[in-house]
């Protein structure tokens, strides 16, 4: 008995036999990676992982249900998706029946799938990783770099508790009923390390742990030596950190603790948020509403074409070419980032899915922000769990580690409490 393996061509042929489908997209993803797990310098496990799957999205046009008319001319459009694996050949037709039925129960205003366009060439993969045995070599190079960096910190009482290393190569093929047929290759590297710091005492309870996750498309962009050095300093400072005092005063959020605070700006700049009437922003108006703007003007942009950016792409989930977009310029909403669907709903230009979010640097050096002759300045470098609400912009974040910068120049580590 010979079992056929499901392929993209087989799926496209099956979709073509379904006249009830108004349109479709097909994404095939194949991933191959190497994973390494260590405890200290002892290897706990290594894995080679290869996966392949197909995501089928179908669109179904039908009349608006009675009582559900929205005033939109024409038909309603439903959409639904299903994921299959190569071994699902025997189930293809039944799964298509199910996903078409689900799409027929969804009622959205009509919109068209994008037509083919010329796609930009964006560097998204590291040739050192895509080479033969590249994932194996890369994962061990990452581990060796972390081990060497931790050895340099050993004299300060810091050691590696555990580490996890991941290197993955992904191939993506994308097809649509409108004739788009595109592909891309990406690499992804990730490291998660837990460091333990112990004080001068032999008391085993006097230990502090710091957890450091870092990811990139290339090993060189991880900067593992500097990551270990900074995480080691955070672990040592956590040992002597004092509880945060309750007060109102100047706060500086720095490093990896800062990016989540810009998520609401990206959310409210989006066409989807505007269509759902959740966006507080109005084009050509201040994103701060009636509040006066102070300090440096805010400039936020989306960079989908940034080489080796984690959010960069040559095309998005609809097949729209990646592009860079200025969203907020001088504190004013300049343009909304908009996928094909929501661009059609709002009648705004299509930008595709956002890429890396870039915030223009201010003019005041960090050292000056941390210096106030009249009162202490709290600098927060790590939260236990950043909790920034995209819709309201409200913040409630527990402080994992920070520093109190006193007017006399003294710096004290602090922890606990919340911003």
Query: Could you tell me if residue 353 is inside a domain?
Result: yes
* Pair 228, 287 in one domain: no
- Domain assignment present for residue 90? The answer is yes
Q: Which residue segment(s) compose the domain that 200 sits in?
A: 8-239
Q: Is residue 2 part of a domain?
A: no
Indicate the burial class of 66 (C-beta count within 10 angstroms; 0-12, 13-18, 19 or more).
Answer: exposed
- The reported pLDDT for the residue numbered 1 is 44
Residue 33 shares a structural domain with residue 178:
yes
Q: Do residues 169 and 33 lie in contact, with contact meaning Cβ atoms separated by under 8 Å?
A: yes
For the chain, give the longest Cα–Cα distance. 82
224 and 354 assigned to the same domain: no
- Rg (C-alpha) for the chain, rounded Å, is 26
Same domain, yes or no: 193 and 272: no
Distances from the Cα of 230 to the Cα of 115, 198, 227, 403, angstroms: 48, 16, 5, 14
The residue behind tokens 């956590």 is 238
372 and 341 in a common domain: yes
Kindly state whether residues 232 and 248 are assigned to the same domain: no
User: What tens digit of pLDDT does each residue of 3-39 get?
Assistant: 578 999 999 999 999 999 999 999 999 999 999 999 9
Residue finishing a domain among 239, 263, 288: 239
- Predicted confidence at residue 66, as pLDDT, reads 81
Q: Residue 360 pLDDT > 80, yes or no?
A: yes
Residue 401 lies inside a defined structural domain of this protein: yes
| Residue 379 near residue 345, CB atoms below 8 Å | no
Contact 370, 377 (CB under 8 A): yes
2 pLDDT band, cuts 50/70/90, is very low
Contacts of 228 (CB under 8 A, 6+ apart): 146, 149, 150, 153, 193, 195, 212
Position 374 scores a pLDDT of 86
Q: CA-CA distance, 214 to 256, in Å (whole number)?
A: 10
Kindly list the strands in the beta sheet with 300-303, ordered across the sheet, starting from the edge strand earlier in the chain.
332-333, 324-329, 300-303, 356-359
**Residue-wise pLDDT tens digits, 271-301:** 999 999 999 999 999 999 999 988 999 999 9
Q: What is the pLDDT of residues 153-202, one digit of tens each?
A: 999 999 999 999 999 999 999 999 999 999 999 999 999 999 999 876 65
- Domain membership of residue 253 (yes or no) is yes
What's the rounded Cα separation, in Å, for the pair 366 and 370? 6
Residue 201's pLDDT is 60
Give yes or no: residues 210 and 314 share one domain.
no
Q: Say yes or no: 198 and 326 in one domain.
A: no
pLDDT tens for residues 70-126? 555 679 999 999 999 999 999 999 999 999 999 999 999 999 999 999 999 999 999
Place of tokens 């972390």: 146
Same domain assignment for residues 164 and 203? yes
How large is the average pLDDT for residues 344-372? 95
What are 222-249's pLDDT values in tens digits? Answer: 999 999 999 999 999 999 999 998 989 8
Say what the pTM is.
0.91
Averaged pLDDT of the chain: 94
Number of domains the chain contains: 2
Average pLDDT over residues 378-406: 94
In a domain, 74, yes or no: yes
Domain identity same for 402 and 310: yes
- In terms of Cα–Cα distance, which of 60, 271, 7 is closest to 177? 60
The answer to whether 314 and 185 are in contact (CB under 8 A) is: no
Alpha-carbon span 320 to 271, nearest angstrom? 15
* One domain for residues 230 and 115: yes
Do 302 and 217 share a structural domain?
Answer: no
Of 59-68, 206-215, 373-382, 405-414, the poorest mean pLDDT is in 59-68
Q: Tell me, yes or no, whether 1 lies in a domain.
A: no
Q: Which of 239, 267, 284 is the last residue of a domain?
A: 239
Last residue of a domain, one of 180, 207, 239: 239
């Amino acid at each position: 008995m010979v079992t056929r393996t499901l392929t993209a061509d087989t799926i496209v042929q099956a979709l073509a036999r379904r006249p009830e489908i108004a349109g479709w997209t097909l994404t095939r993803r194949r991933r191959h990676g190497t994973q390494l797990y260590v405890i200290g310098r002892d290897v706990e496990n290594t894995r080679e992982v290869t996966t392949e799957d197909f995501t089928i999205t179908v669109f179904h046009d039908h009349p608006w249900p009675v009582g559900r008319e929205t005033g939109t001319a024409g038909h309603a459009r439903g959409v639904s998706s299903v994921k299959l694996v190569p071994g699902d050949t025997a189930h293809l037709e039944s799964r298509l029946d199910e996903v078409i039925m689900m799409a027929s129960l969804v009622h959205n205003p009509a919109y068209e799938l994008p037509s083919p366009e010329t796609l930009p060439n964006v560097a998204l993969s590291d040739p050192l990783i895509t080479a033969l045995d590249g994932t194996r070599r890369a994962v061990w190079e990452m581990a060796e770099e972390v081990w060497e960096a931790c050895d340099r910190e050993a004299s300060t009482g810091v050691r590696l508790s555990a580490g996890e290393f991941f290197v993955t190569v992904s191939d993506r093929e994308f097809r649509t009923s409108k004739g788009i047929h595109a592909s891309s290759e990406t690499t992804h590297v990730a490291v998660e390390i837990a460091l333990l710091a112990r004080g001068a005492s032999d008391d085993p309870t006097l230990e502090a742990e710091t957890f450091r996750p870092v990811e990139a498309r290339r090993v060189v962009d991880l900067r593992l030596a500097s990551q270990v050095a900074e995480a080691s300093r955070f672990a040592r400072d956590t040992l002597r950190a004092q509880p945060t005092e309750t007060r109102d005063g100047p706060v500086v959020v720095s490093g990896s603790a800062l990016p989540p605070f810009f998520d609401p700006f990206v959310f409210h700049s989006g066409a989807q948020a505007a269509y759902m009437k959740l966006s507080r922003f109005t084009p050509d108006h201040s994103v701060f509403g009636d509040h006066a703007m102070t300090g440096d003007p805010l400039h936020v942009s989306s960079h989908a074409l940034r080489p080796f950016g984690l959010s960069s792409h040559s095309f998005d989930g609809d097949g729209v070419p990646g592009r860079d977009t200025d969203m907020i310029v001088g504190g004013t909403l300049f343009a909304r980032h908009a996928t094909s669907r929501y661009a059609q709903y709002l009648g705004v230009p299509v930008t595709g899915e956002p890429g890396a979010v870039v915030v223009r640097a201010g003019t005041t050096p960090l050292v000056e922000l941390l210096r106030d002759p009249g009162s202490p300045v709290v600098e927060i470098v790590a939260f236990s769990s950043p909790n920034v609400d995209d819709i309201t912009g409200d913040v409630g974040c527990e402080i994992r580690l920070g520093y109190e910068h006193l007017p006399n120049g003294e710096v004290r580590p602090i922890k606990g409490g919340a911003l």
